[in-house]
Structures are given as C-alpha cells and as structure tokens.
Amino acid sequence: MSFELLGGRVMAPYFGSSIHVWGSIISVFMFSLAIGYLIGGKLSVSKPNAQRFGFIFLLSAILLYPLVLFAEPAMLWIFDRVEDPRYGSLLAASFLFMIPTIILGMISPYSVRLLVRSVEHSGQVAGRLYFASTLGSALGTLATSFYLVLWLEVNEILALLSGTLVVMFVIATLSHRYFEKQHIAANKN
C-alpha cells in the first residue's frame, strides 16, 4: 500500500491527482497483484522453501529500486507523447508499477504454501496470513501518508521500501539455513 500511495505522488507532477489518475494507479496495482497471485501460487507448488521465498523479496527490491532513478525521466517521456491524461496516466502507471507489483503479489500465495502443514488447517492459516497482511497494509498506509511523506522525499521512501525487501530476503535466507540444519539433524537421529 505504501508503494501504491507513492505512485500517486510520483505521477501527480505530470498527470495531477484526478480520479482518472487514481483509477489508473489502482487498476494497475490490482491487475498486477492478480497476476502475481497466479504466478506465486504456481511457483509455490514445486519444491517450496524459505530460500526461494526470499528470492521473491530480493527480486522485488531489485525491480522497485530503479524507480528512484528512472521514474521522473519515464514520466516526462510519457507525458510528452500522450496528451490525454487518462491514457497517459494508465500507460505511466503500467510502465512504472506493473512488474514490481506482479513480483510483490507472488509473496502472499507462496506464504500460504509455506505455512500450511495440513489441509484441515489451511483455511485458518490463510485467514491469519490475510489478516496480518491487511493489517500491515493499513498500518503501512497510515505510516506512509501520515509520517513518511512528511519526513522523507518520495525517492527516499522508495529506497527504504527496497531496503526493507532486502532485509526480508536476508531473514528468509537465514531461516532457510536454520530449518535445513534442523532437518539434517532430525534425519541423523
């Protein structure tokens, strides 16, 4: 949600903040998340583990960070070529936000797969995960809109989000190594 809110700030100097611009941003994010959910669900079927899960976070960070460097030139290029702000904002939102959001969308279904241990508890696990995810989104929205935009520039917040994704990659990688060692020790006994 922080990323989506920042999308509005990135696009506002060029396309404004009209209903068309927000409609473009929200549509691109929803469409991209839907694709990411499908891909993440498919990837989670084949040998799921925390290390692969971590690489989703790393890939997200790698694809999100270039916005810090290239969002403004991309916006200017699109703004100069597409006169209608409805289609210009849709094109800009698609170009800037689609790929990182698809990758971010892969996280939820992969998380469900890693956390579900039995079919009987799958609904409960998914419910808890979506509760935590939605609560985190709400808190991230409030933190971004009430505080971060007052303290930091948009590019600094994007860099902070990328850094957070890298930290999540490290945590997932370390947990994978820990659980692998536990698994090896259990098999020796």
pLDDT at 184: 60
Q: What is the number of other CB atoms lying within 10 angstroms of the CB of residue 151?
A: 8
| CA dist., res. 51 & res. 86, Å (int) | 41
Q: What is the 3-state secondary structure (H, E, C) of 104-155?
A: HHCHHHHHHHHHCCCHHHHHHHHHHHHHHHHHHHHHHHHHHHHHHHHHCCHH
CA 56 to chain centre: 10
Res 43: pLDDT:
94
pLDDT score of 117: 83
Q: What is the pLDDT of residue 150?
A: 93
Low-confidence ranges of the chain (pLDDT < 70): 178-189
pLDDT computed for residue 163 by the predictor: 95
Query: How many Cβ atoms are within 10 Å of 57's Cβ, its own excluded?
Result: 23
Q: What pLDDT score was predicted for residue 61?
A: 95
Whole-number pLDDT of residue 186: 55
Query: What's the pTM value of the predicted model, to 2 decimals?
Result: 0.88
* CA atoms of 186 and 166, how far apart (whole Å): 30
- Reported as a single tens digit per residue, the pLDDT across 42-89 is 999 988 888 899 999 999 999 999 999 999 999 999 999 998 889 999
